[in-house]
Amino acid sequence: MDKYILIIGACGQIGTELTLALRAKYGNERVIASDIREGQASLMGSGPFELLDATDTNALEEVVAYYEINEVYLMAAMLSATAEKFPMRAWNLNMSSLFNVLNLGKERKIEKIFWPSSIAVFGPNTPKENTPQHTIMEPSTVYGISKQSGERWCEYYFNKFGVDVRSLRYPGLISWKTMPGGGTTDYAVEIYHKALEENHYSCFLEEGTALPMMFMDDAIRATIQLMEADTAKVRLRSSYNLGAMSFTPEEMANSIREHLPHFTMAHAPDFRQAIANSWPANIDDTPAREDWGWRPKYDLKATTMEMLARLRDKKAR
């Protein structure tokens, strides 16, 4: 059967690159982008786009029926830093959009779902180093609570109703095409922009704050690989730990100094420090490696080279 894919929240940091990658793979007309706002030209110009609110059950059903959608990637959510400011809005968006999509699966209106979780499902009582797939999970943020609940619901819909839902616990994602949308790891993108523009960055996290991170190309590859894996290989239907690298702000600044020797960084921690303190430093992703063959390609050095080169190009245009 032909694949028709709907991306919800397609104009965001991940959705933009995911949509372009899926269009390149399956054909522009088969990948429908949707969001509550319009996105950048490369996305809007390369295939169908619908203005769609993920919490509007009827509108979602109409789009799914109209385009004969069989796969949905749900990327709409309120991220960690913004969610702390608007807890009820975050809970409503993050949960009702997920239920809308899971129920489409339950009613057999779609066949396969991708829903992203996050390292935010872990909390201050989780082992910080080499955080295992199965461990203490007591998230202390609004965002983390919604992701942890989402994971439980995904597993429940798989077990109870046979819904083919697949999920990854993304670490902080580093990308150059789109700016991040209000997360705690946003510094790891902002730093490259500021390095090129001002040769200085004031970091909202303090020294020594190690967090799990990943270059966007790895995250997109992991997402598509998981969605294409044989059903039997996807043994976990909550969400897979996904690792690539871990570093502190100073380590990142040092990697930038290899290219821009005069780059300086100051620290002015804000409320996001408490969120970062509750998260793991690095992740053990053995089940993802064993079940469906996950291997990251980008380390910090490769990420810095790619980010500086691509952003230089983009700013010169």
- Write out the residues near ligand NAD by the rule CB under 6 A: 8-9, 11-15, 35-37, 52-55, 75-77, 79, 93, 116, 118, 170, 172-173, 180-183, 185
Instruction: Match 């975050």 to its residue by tokens.
Output: 90
260 Cβ contact list (under 8 Å, min separation 6): 195, 196, 199, 308
DSSP 6-47: EEETTTSHHHHHHHHHHHHHH-GGGEEEEESS---HHHHTSS
Give me the residues paired with residue 152 across strands. Answer: none
> Closer to ligand NAD at the Cβ: 2 or 80?
80
Q: Which of 143, 157, 201, 240 is catalytic?
A: 143
Residue nearest to ligand NAD (CB): 12
Q: How far is the CB of 120 from ligand NAD (least distance, A)?
A: 7
Q: Return the structure tokens found at 56.
A: 């509007």
In whole angstroms, give the CA distance from residue 45 to residue 29. Answer: 11
Residue 32 falls in which region: left (phi positive, over 0), alpha (psi -120 to 50) or beta: beta
Q: How far is the CB of 232 from ligand NAD (least distance, A)?
A: 26
> Closer to ligand NAD at the Cβ: 95 or 260?
95
N-term to C-term CA, the chain: 42
> Closer to ligand NAD at the Cβ: 95 or 305?
95
Q: How far is the CB of 188 from ligand NAD (least distance, A)?
A: 9
Q: Return the structure tokens found at 144.
A: 């983390």
> Closer to ligand NAD at the Cβ: 94 or 255?
94
Q: How far is the CB of 59 from ligand NAD (least distance, A)?
A: 10
Active site residue 143: yes
Supply the residues annotated as catalytic: 143
